[in-house]
Structure 1
């Protein structure tokens, strides 16, 4: 198996795992599927021992953009639910479950 094929398999594994997160409903609502895909690519590349610092920086930036980091959750004002997350299918024509109910967006009603 070539390195590109291995990276492709790793990207798909990351993609499937990410769409099980509570943030997935907001990614769909905001149309961030391409950003999630890019994160998967960057993450797979960043895991390689010879990965460049720039790729690892892109991973960190996308973690914030997608609400995968504490800083990103705070900036987006998203609150994660307590307890075990339910499974969500990745957007590829398959059923989408109600991950929206697990994610709360906090308004700025100050």
Structure 2
């Protein structure tokens, strides 16, 4: 097995906030995904009959922001294989290689931080929560400076 050379995921992951942005690899740019996730129904399950746990995971995953990209790239089969592998990895007696496969899927589907960076995806900031009008204003406690008493020079000495 060769010892040196480049690997597919070697080196640091791309950073959308890096100071130097003129690299050839930046030509593709970054994709901002909606914070609310993907709208619509989950695609049809592409594998043999799903277990209840697989079905719950499947529905949950297709509501995530990353699902927008999976839909665009036609990755329903890859997501289903991830779900099936994840349910197998959740077992107490799961093999280590199954758990490694789950980690690989997390990265390739953009479900991990490293995967998001490598895919050049970022999630849009969530909309701020509306402020209730019935909220009482916060009571300001006196600071240490407020409690200090100014003494004219020469007094009290």
With normalisation by structure 2, the TM-score equals: 0.48
Match of 1:64 in 2: 107
Aligned length: 78
Match of 1:13 in 2: 56
Aligned-partner SS, 1:21? coil
* TM-superposed deviation, 1:9: 1.1
Unpaired runs of 5+ residues, structure 2, are 1-49, 128-157
Match of 1:23 in 2: 66
* TM-superposed deviation, 1:8: 1.2
How many angstroms apart in 2 are the aligned matches of 1:73 and 1:52? Answer: 26
Structure 1 or 2: larger helix share? 1
How many angstroms apart in 2 are the aligned matches of 1:47 and 1:81? Answer: 31
Unpaired runs of 5+ residues, structure 1, are 1-6, 85-110
Q: Whose radius of gyration is greater, 1 or 2?
A: 2
Match of 1:35 in 2: 78
Which structure has more relative contact order (CA 8 Å, sep 6+)? It is 1
Match of 2:124 in 1: 81
Alignment RMSD: 1.3
**Cα-to-partner distance string for 1:9-48 (whole Å, 9 max, x where unaligned):** 1111110110110011100111111000001001111111
How many angstroms apart in 2 are the aligned matches of 1:82 and 1:38? Answer: 30
